[in-house]
Structure 1
Amino acid sequence: MEQDPLSQLRDIHIPPPEGFWPPAPGWWFVLLLVIGLAIAITVWLRRRRQKNAWYRIARRRLDRLAEGAAGTSRWFNELNSLLKQSALARYPDRQPQSLSGSGWVDFLLETSPADPAASRPVVSAMVASCYQPSPTCPTDDAIRFARVWIGGQKC
């Protein structure tokens, strides 16, 4: 009994589809790239936050000083101290802690942003008020200048 050899053939079978795992090498590269970028961005944000920590502290202290604006020489000394600490954090190479009088006024004006609050008479009166028994500088002007100066120093 002779059989037809073609009848013994089976239909073509398509192999089952591939699963999603393991991914192709290109996807591994993309995954490593995304992880690397996430780490780099995290490190950059953390360093920036640490670098600007003085800014957040100065803003909080300035807000407290503004709330209790007394207009005394002691209050102006505290404001001047805050500005010096901020200047030291922002410009450590220029040694602002050693400046006083007109040198300190010049430094503040030189490093302040262009703003009407940063005028020589206001800054001079603010610095001089630290040494006067009854200060002549209005506290509002001093606070306005300090906000402008500290706000313009953020990195």
Structure 2
Amino acid sequence: MRAVFFIPALAGLFLVSCQTGPATIIFKPGTLGAERQRDVDMCEIASFKEIPQNIATQINPGYSSPPTVQCNNVGGFVACNTFGGVNIPASAYNYDVNQGLRFRFVRRCLQAKGYSFVEKPICTADQKTPDIPYKSPDEVKCVRRAPN
């Protein structure tokens, strides 16, 4: 199982993560979504064969500072107040050291297959983007937002 899905922006010509600005798409003249997806999948599989996962753990030690207790005796009564005190627990997370290298491998693999990377704006709700074999990236006016 892959620990991280690092190619969502490359997964298809019109699949884009939730963003408001331009999105990077892959483009190859005359291809349809199924062919692009097949090529992305093949490049991802090749990247895992060439560059295996190397899972490392990042540990953040946390921080602890004990509180200060101040007590006062007032007319036979003792009143105590607690000040300060911080406890931030330690945390750890796993990450793949080779993720960036595999991402670059996939980009080079797709470029070797004739794909280019083009920035296009996100489509508005009323714009349509059919899955047709475009001849030029200039024909692609916008890209659809990926489903949530």
TM-score by length of 2: 0.25
Larger helix percent: 1
TM-score where L is the length of structure 1: 0.24
- The higher-RCO structure (CA 8 Å, 6+ apart) is 2
Higher strand proportion: 2
